Amino acid sequence: MSTRITYLGFLLLLVFLTGCQKIINLNLPTPAYQLVVEGHIENGTNPYVILTHNAAYFSTFTPADIANTFVHGALITVSNGAQTDTLHELSYDTAGIVAYIYTDVLSKKPIVGQVGQSYSLYINSNGKVLTSVTTIPQLTPLDSVWVVPANSGRSNNDSLVLLMAEYTSPPSINVYVRYFTETNNEGFLVDYNSVFSNQLFYGKKFSFSLNSGIQRGDTSYNHDYPYFHRGDTITVKWSNIDQAQYTFWNTLEYVENNQGSPFSNPIVIATNINGGLGIWGGYGSTYKTLIVPDN
């Protein structure tokens, strides 16, 4: 009898819980208009800035919507303290979407990134002013790269290999790195977690694996992640960055990797843009290339 009562009580509780559902409609306010910057300067290259504006969280993102986020006609300058150059707006077609970029490749004397140099960014868009400063840090290249057979439980696929690297961390603390990989000249891509700090292993030499970069939104491209294939030509771009840029990418990737998780902690994406959002960052880049043997 007691078992039947307990079972009946459980059913009543289940009906009560399932019957107490309430649909909650979130009515989020339209966010205040803000400019968003993605700008970089790298050793040996010209600066560039992609200038857009923010959008509501539940906005649609059709090609037309994306195109409308680009901000045109802004005055953008970059200065190294001795030279100030104005960036020019150029357009290019990428996968059917016309994108816009500000750069100084059309200048008579363009600024070219140098290791150890600081660069100031100034943006004026319809009277809204944004500023930032970044530095191209000293280079701390990888010692070497090589591959080992993949140990992934995919014993039926002998073509997969894992990329390994050796690195000697400088004795000074606060060295920050972002890495990219390129396979067969298809363009550099980043991993889900692309930035490192040497705070736990400064002054030490150690070996570690480097995952292949990912093509976000293209699951067919990533089906062998994090491995490479025999016969691939792999190039690793190892870029020293400053702390502000490390913090930006670290917080952004945390948000991207935990999207939709009810257990993740809320986090604000860091920025070094005064008056706006985004990043103005210097890259001190070195490269390692490896041709993976066919067997």
Tell me 8's DSSP state.
H
Q: Is the pLDDT of residue 190 over 80?
A: yes
pLDDT at 263: 61
pLDDT at 8: 43
Output the CA angle 117-289-291, nearest 5 degrees.
Answer: 175
Q: Which pLDDT band, with edges at 50, 70 and 90, does 260 fall under?
A: low
Burial of 78 (0-12, 13-18, 19+ CB in 10 A): buried
pLDDT at 63: 72
Give residues with Cβ within 8 angstroms of 211, minimum separation 6: 163, 181, 191, 192, 225, 226
What CATH class does 35-135 carry?
A: mainly beta
Structure tokens at 214: 């990912």
Equal CATH topology for 35-135 and 144-241+286-291: yes
- State the average pLDDT for the chain: 86
Q: pLDDT tens-digit profile of 204-249?
A: 999 999 999 998 766 665 678 899 999 999 999 999 999 999 999 9
Distance CA 90, CA 5 (A): 75
What is the value of pTM for the model shown?
Answer: 0.84
Domain boundaries 144-241+286-291, corresponding CATH code? 2.60.40
Q: Which pLDDT band, with edges at 50, 70 and 90, does 10 fall under?
A: very low
Output the CA angle 82-248-179, nearest 5 degrees.
Answer: 85
DSSP assignment of 192-246: SS-EEE-TTTTT-EEEEEEPPP--TT-TTTTTTTT-EETT-EEEEEEEEE-HHHH
Q: pLDDT tens-digit profile of 152-175?
A: 555 456 889 999 999 999 998 889
Burial of 161 (0-12, 13-18, 19+ CB in 10 A): buried
Burial of 194 (0-12, 13-18, 19+ CB in 10 A): buried
Q: Where are the domains of the chain?
A: 35-135, 144-241+286-291
Q: pLDDT tens-digit profile of 24-58?
A: 555 556 778 899 999 999 999 999 999 999 887 66
Kindly give the residue spans of alpha helices, DSSP state H, lying in the chain: 2-19, 63-68, 243-257
3-state secondary structure of 16: helix
Q: Which residue has the higher pLDDT, 202 or 110?
A: 110
Q: pLDDT tens-digit profile of 63-103?
A: 777 788 999 999 999 999 999 999 999 998 876 778 899 99
Locus of tokens 């303290």: 81
Amino acid at 184: N
Residue of 140, 121, 141, 144 whose CA lies nearest to 131: 121
pLDDT at 153: 53
Tell me 153's DSSP state.
S
pLDDT at 4: 45
3-state secondary structure of 146: strand
